[in-house]
Structure 1
């Protein structure tokens, strides 16, 4: 199949033309239950999220902070199955014209079958995968499957990465490069690590066209600060907490508030 232009990159470029940049919003599939997670994702899109990031609940979420870990454990306890990911993506895409990426640890994809996962995600209308625990040099099978099925592959770049590694990540990623703002697990922080700015500059030097900063962003002010140097800001914990504490209505209000950081 001929690879299509990245809908994720197109949306981010548009946000950079029209506003300061893009807002990428994360929620786990199946939290607090499947139907509510679908409703919540649709509400996020309608409240100002430019790109949606659906997380796959996993039994050993080494990169996630306490709020997201708690949410994914709730989803697993509620009977989450991998098939729910494709159902959720399909239902969201039927309701809103916003690209949906799936963020997943690599083991569930391997267990499902890499090409089969790519095929079923594409069939559901998904845009691609964010893969926090696999590097491009270990991802030949996924790179081939993403090309075959027209999916984006978003790899992570960390402040500890060498320039050589950043070059590989930049060349191998499509959609954008996920720029890890601080070393460690996801969550909210009062101030973003200055390493994010330096890392984004290093990625640009290595050829990265689009970079979105995640891990630690939870306010409109932090979104605005990140968009001074990055193309998009990724918010997770603040949205999961809003959904947990106040349901879809609170989530929609929180997304709208944080999205104000993308305004010029």
Structure 2
């Protein structure tokens, strides 16, 4: 069992996303510690990119602010080294294939492993092209996280069979962003995955309220939130840490009753 999978052992996992460097790397570091304290089980660290095609307006704007502030991949690696001195929470990089290519795939993945990263998500990497990165990830003990989308039912079984870490279930078509409601049949997607693998399934894209988180936690092993967190950071900037901590606490609390009910149901079987 990988370190990422251990994040799901104690029930429903809350996975939080941050764009590194927005509003500064120092604030990003403080946000990580605050989210750990508030109950996050796994944190995705976004490496900013000038053309983040999978992102909606909120995270696109965060990427631009981070780049304008001078955020670089090397500076993010230094950030992770500092974080690893204080917490062992599972950490995953989320970025784009071009970022890894331009840095040098082997150098990037080897360094990520050396500083204590546990996984890598590349939303623009087609499953058919994963062989450019997957062998290097396996060599260095990094989980390359697979994504499945609502339109990829025919491919879900194939993707699930080779999944590692967790399967990232995209809840909605389009880019990331807060949505008032999620209409995708997530349960059916997850059933297809579970027929092929025991790797946990976490749902992301569009989840922003405790009610949505609870709904998703009833069918999934974890809930991923990014845009709603970055929206708070956009609003409060340097003073965003306590507001993000309160938000994470409320989202974890929303999925905990689901977790407790699931545990109780299993105990009665």
Distance 2:209 2:87 in 1: 24
Distance 2:198 2:61 in 1: 34
Give the aligned partner of residue 53 of structure 1: 44
Moved over 6 A (4+): none
Distance 1:210 1:148 in 2: 22
1:210-240, CA deviations, whole angstroms, 9 ceiling, x for partnerless residues? 1100001111111111111100000011111
Q: Secondary structure at the match of 2:174?
A: coil
Distance 2:187 2:82 in 1: 36
Give the aligned partner of residue 194 of structure 1: 184
TM-score norm. by structure 2 comes to 0.90
Q: How many aligned positions are there?
A: 254
Query: Is the 8 Å Cα contact of residues 170 and 203 (structure 2) preserved in structure 1?
Result: yes
Equivalences for 1:1-80 in 2 at 5 Å?
5-14=1-10, 16=11, 21-80=12-71
Q: Secondary structure at the match of 1:101?
A: strand
TM-score norm. by structure 1 comes to 0.92
Q: Does 1:157 align with 2:155?
A: no
Q: Does 1:252 align with 2:245?
A: yes
Structure 2 residues not aligned, in runs of 5+: 258-269
Q: Does 1:178 align with 2:174?
A: no
Query: Is the 8 Å Cα contact of residues 164 and 199 (structure 2) preserved in structure 1?
Result: no
More deviation, 82-91/111-120: 82-91
1:185: Cα distance to partner? 0.8
Structure 1 residues not aligned, in runs of 5+: none
Distance 2:79 2:162 in 1: 27
Q: CA RMSD in A?
A: 1.3
